[in-house]
A and B are shown apart, each in its own frame.
Chain A
Amino acid sequence: MGITSALAAQFGQMLLVLALAPALTGLTRKMKARLQRRIGPPIFQPYRDLRRLFNKDVVLADNSSWLFRVAPYLIFAATWVAAALVPTFQTGLLFSWAGDLIAIVALLGAARFVQAVAALDTGTSFGGIGASREIMIAALAEPAMIMVVFTVALVAGSTQLSTIAAFMADTGGLRVSLAMALVALIIVALAENARIPVDNPSTHLEVTMVHEAMVLEYSGRHLAMIELAASLKLLLYISIIACIFFPFGLITDGAGLSAHAISLAAYLLKVTAASLLLATLETVIAKMRVFRVPNLLGVALMLGLLGTLLLFVSGGM
């Protein structure tokens, strides 16, 4: 296995997630609309939106600093690098030796920090209230995420996603701890991606927003970078859940062309299924009251903790 083919696989995957992310957002919107008896915008609308935003001028608040201007690029870069570490259809990625699940959590945490600081930078009240809510949610979601990482790492014996995925595909099976970790990870994913019941991505009510309130002041290419990063993040979480808990169809390097095609098809199938489930969930439940969110994330944290404890107590059950 030459370094060139490994690099090709790595960069191919990075481009794949980048190209696929807006479609995932569009697909989820379309499914939600259909479930609500609406026609909904076309699945490829997010690409058009991005093109439109990239062609628009940027409007900056008078009192915004350099931080406000660089934040979109930092957020996008951190999210993209994190996405590069997650195996989508192929394990044994070149970059996965450079960073494990904890690095992914840290990269996303860094992106969030930059976003919250940039929201505070303009000094508007909505930016402030959005940042404060986001940090409250993050402070609870991150520990839960770490507990999930520990559970999975104890089972697979590694925190590297490629290794975990390969382990799960070979020797994985039903474990109580993993079921708990899955539920916890889904809750964290909903919170991190500003989905119902934690946040409402399609709301127009400025005082209820969390993520949207932070990016209210952004426009043009800055907004495009942030929107793209948000789409990437959603795909990233779906990919993590897919490669840990549903690792079928994953290939290791050196596989043939037909194996590539099958694994790619399996990946697309998983993403589509996840998108449909997400749309259904967002249709059947209402958004939570802001102060109920800690209860939900507390459940995620407890499940992660129980999963870890159970592994210790039962000696690897």
Chain B
Amino acid sequence: MTARDPSLPDPFDRLNGRIVAEHRPWPRIEVQTDAWAKAADRLSRGALTLLGLWGESHVVHMAVADTNDPSLILVLSLTCPEGRYPSVGRVHPPAIRLERAVADLFALVPVGPPDMRPWLDHGKWGVHAPLAAQQNDAQPAEEYGFLPVDGEDIHQLPVGPVHAGIIEPGHFRISADGETVVRLEERLGYTHKGVEALLQGADLQRAARLASRCSGDSTVAYGLAFAHAVEAALGWSPPTRAVRLRALMAELERLANHLGDVGAICNDGGFAIMLAHCSVLRESVLRQAAACFGHRLMMDRVVPGGVTTDLDAAGSARIVGLTGDIRRRFQRLIDLYDKTASLQDRTVGTGVLKPALAAQFGAGGYIGRASGRLCDARRWPGYAPYDELEFEIPVLQEGDVNARLWIRVREVEQSIRLIEQILVTLPDGPIRTENAIDPANPPAEGMAIVEGFRGDILAWVRIDAAGRIERCHLRDPSWFQWPLLEAAIEGNIVADFPICNKSFNCSYSGHDL
């Protein structure tokens, strides 16, 4: 997969434009509409995979990767002085929500998209397109029209944004024929915090704090993505010990989240004992994280240039004890899951996501890997220290709730393997390099893709000469996973929606920005 097959056509062929020198590590080119349209066409034919689409005043950027070799990445930038650009979503549906978000924030309007409704903007901001070149007053909010569903005896079931349980807010409009779901339509944006606006003009320290708060459960991964992007832009290289400690924290975070998810999925099948036991394991991870790094979620521990907290020998011993403990106890829980037929009956064959759709949307994480997509940002494009560590990437073809649960189980095992390798090979040395920002430097741009527990997080920054963030975009993996939930639930029964939703466990906060 990593080696390019020369017989395949080059998906980047004749995507020409002016190369932006200060963009690292992958090339960024300023293109005209014809190259932009060509890239959209290749996305729709599957030769390219969409990584992200974001705006800036008068410019729209799109990151794409070669589908056959996801390490080959290109950013296309299209200047649109009129505020209009050819829609990618018209031919490639994964881009639709991204384009709607760009229109809400920057007033850059795609031409010819199938869906022009606002997405993040619910008409409650008091301002229209807050990041656009010129500020506009808020327009009176129009009634949000849900997609019509035709048919006799179809009834609608509005669920959320306020739920009976304590979960994040999101609205789900379920159209059902009796108990069978005919269509699910999501409406998100309730947790919009204005992260991108807050990031503009922030210094690196504040920006790192903001980036880590995009989605609290992935705070290490977000911090890492932001740090990688800044380090790429400024040419910093963090010390080896810091790189290893970052990976350690990232794997602990993955471990905690996957353990919690396995229990929560079973609980949604009415099997509370798994939740109780998995919660105990998750809690033990969080407590050790607090003991070793001073914060349960390890928030703000990863910063550009390194990490802020070192791990002492006692901490190492604690984590070794933790992994041994989880290894022993988790296996028994998995045996329990495997042997409980009534629970398997709920998860096997429920909420099937077809591999073709997962590939089209470039879905990362357990959602993509449970639907036959071999992907992991730790290997493609890859980053240190994972090139020196051994781990397997589990892939299943079934795409049902059961498969997504098993991917998590396997990843728990792999994370434990990684943690043990990291602890054994942890070198001594400093944990942070302080680099001064040279005011003579031109603006620098950096990009990074990091594997969070949900999938690949993309971070893109431009830093001005004073070392402040000029523009930063953070793309959560959920952007390409939420739409797939709508597809996976179709034809299932209404009562199975929670277990499907939990098996996806997409981020609201990371998506709503």
A53 and B204 CA atoms in complex are apart in Å by: 52
Of the listed stretches B27-35, B70-78, B143-151, B156-164, chain A binds B156-164
A284 to B343, CA, bound (A): 10
Task: Check if A288 sits within 8 Å of B342, measured CB to CB.
Answer: yes
The answer, yes or no, to whether A186 is at the interface (CB within 8 Å) is no
Known A197-B270, A205-B164; contact A286-B346, beta-carbon cutoff 8 A: yes
Q: How far is the CA of A169 from the CA of B74 in the complex (A)?
A: 83
- Please name the residue on chain A nearest to B502 by beta carbon: A205
Contact in complex: B179, A286 (CB < 8 Å): no
- The reply to whether B269 and A204 form a contact with Cβ atoms under 8 Å apart is no
Q: A37-B277, A125-B157 are in contact. Are A207 and B272 (CB under 8 A)?
A: no
Query: For the complex, what is the distance from the CA of A204 to the CA of B271, rounded to whole Å?
Result: 13
Residues from chain B with a CB closer than 8 A to the CB of A72 are none
Q: What A residues does B271 contact at CB under 8 A?
A: 285-287
**252-280 of chain A: CB within 8 A of chain B:** none
Report the minimal beta-carbon distance from A8 to chain B, rounded to whole angstroms.
43
In the assembled complex, which residues on chain B have CB atoms less than 8 Å from the CB atom of A86?
A: none
A64 neighbours in B (Cβ, 8 Å): none
Known A-B contacts A287-B346, A289-B496, A291-B493; the reply to A203 vs B159 at CB < 8 A is no
Given contacts A286-B270, A286-B345, A125 and B155 within 8 Å (CB-CB) = yes
User: What chain B residues lie within 8 Å of A284 (beta carbons)?
Assistant: 273, 340
Judge if B266 is at the interface, Cβ distance under 8 Å: yes
**Pair A286/B340 contact, Cβ less than 8 Å:** yes
- Asked whether A196 is an interface residue with its Cβ less than 8 Å from the other chain, the reply is yes
B495 within 8 A of A: yes
- The answer to whether B163 touches A290 (Cβ under 8 A) is no
Given the complex of chains A and B, what is the CA–CA distance between A216 and B162 in angstroms?
14
Mask: chain B, 272-311; 1 = CB below 8 Å from A; 0 = not: 1101110010000000000000000000000000000000
A287 touches B157 (CB 8 A): no
How many A-B pairs fall under 8 Å by CB? 83
Q: In this assembly, does B165 line the interface, its C-beta being within 8 Å of a C-beta of chain A?
A: yes
Residue of chain B at shortest CB distance from A204: B165
B324 CB-CB contact with A under 8 Å: no
| Nearest A residue (CB) for B159 | A207
Q: Please determine whether B495 and A290 come into contact, CB atoms closer than 8 angstroms.
A: yes
Q: Does A129 contact B (CB under 8 A)?
A: yes
Interface residues of A in 22-39 (CB under 8 A from B): 32, 35-38
B157: which A residues are within 8 A, CB to CB? Answer: 125-126, 129, 207
How far apart are the CA atoms of A205 and B159 in the complex, in Å?
10
Interface centre among A204, A207, A208 (most CB of B within 10 A): A207
Whether the pair A290, B493 counts as a contact (CB closer than 8 A) is yes
Chain A CB within 10 Å — which of B159, B272, B275 has the most?
B272
Cβ-neighbour of A205 out of B155, B158, B165 (below 8 A): B165
Chain B residues lying within 8 Å of A37, measured Cβ to Cβ, are: 276-277, 280
| 0/1 interface trace, chain A 284-304, chain B, CB 8 Å (1 if under) | 111111111000000000000
* Interface pair B266/A286, CB less than 8 Å apart: yes
Taking CB atoms, residues of chain A closer than 8 Å to B272 are 32, 36, 202, 283
Report Cα–Cα, A285/B337, bound state, in Å.
Answer: 11
Which residues of chain B come closer than 8 Å to A288, judged between CB atoms? 342, 345-346
Which chain A residues (205-227) contact chain B, with CB distance < 8 Å? 205-208, 216
User: Complex Cα distance A207/B489, Å?
Assistant: 13
Q: How far is the CA of A180 from the CA of B41 in the complex (A)?
A: 66
- Identify the closest chain A residue to B179 (Cβ): A290
Given the complex, which residues of A lie within 8 Å of B268, measured CB to CB? 205, 208
Chain B hits for A286, CB < 8 A: 266, 269-271, 340, 342-343, 345-346
**Contact, CB under 8 Å: B156 / A289:** no
The yes or no answer to A128 lying at the interface (CB within 8 A) is yes
Q: Give the CA-CA distance A284 to B273 in the complex, in Å.
A: 8
Q: How far, in whole Å, are A286 and B336 apart by their CA atoms in the complex?
A: 12
> B498 an interface residue at 8 Å Cβ cutoff?
yes
- Is B448 positioned at the interface, with any CB of A under 8 Å from its CB? no
Residues of B within 8 A of A208 (CB): 268, 495, 498
Kindly state the separation between the CA atoms of A286 and B280 in the bound complex, as whole angstroms: 20
Any chain B CB within 8 A of the CB of A90?
no
B340–A289 touching, CB < 8 Å: no
Distance between Cα atoms of A109 and B277 in the complex (Å): 39
Does A200 have its Cβ within 8 Å of any Cβ on chain B?
A: yes
- B449 at interface, CB cutoff 8 A: no
Is there an interface contact between A207 and B497, defined as CB atoms closer than 8 Å? yes
Contact with B along A88-132 (1 / 0, CB 8 A): 000000000000000000000000000000000000011011001
**Is B174 engaged at the interface, CB distance under 8 Å to the other chain?**
yes
Q: Which residue of B lies closest to A126 (CB)?
A: B157
A residues within 8 A CB of B343?
285-286
Q: A125-B157, A197-B342, A285-B340 are in contact. Are A205 and B498 (CB under 8 A)?
A: yes
B208 at the binding interface (Cβ < 8 Å) = no
A86 CA to B9 CA, complexed, in Å = 80
Interchain nearest-CB distance for A37 vs B (Å)? 5
Known: A286-B345, A289-B493, A289-B496. A200 touches B158 (CB 8 A): no
- Which residues of A have CB within 8 Å of B276? 36-38
A90 vs B309: C-alpha distance when bound (angstroms): 70
- How far is it, in angstroms, between the C-alpha of A208 and the C-alpha of B271 when the chains are bound? 14
User: How far apart sit A128 and B271, CA to CA, in the bound complex (Å)?
Assistant: 26
A69 to chain B, nearest CB (A): 23
Residues in B whose Cβ lies below 8 Å from that of A126: 157
Contacts of B342 on A, CB cut-off 8 Å? Answer: 197, 285-288
- The 4 lowest CB-CB distance pairs between A and B, nearest first, are A287-B270, A204-B165, A36-B276, A286-B343
- Residues of B whose CB lies within 8 Å of any CB of A are 155-159, 163-166, 174, 178-179, 266, 268-273, 275-277, 280, 340, 342-343, 345-346, 493-498
Chain A residues proximal to chain B, CB less than 8 Å: 32, 35-38, 125-126, 128-129, 132, 196-197, 200, 202-208, 216, 283-292
Seed contacts A207-B174, A207-B498, A292-B345; 4 additional CB < 8 Å A-B pairs: A125-B157, A202-B272, A216-B164, A286-B346
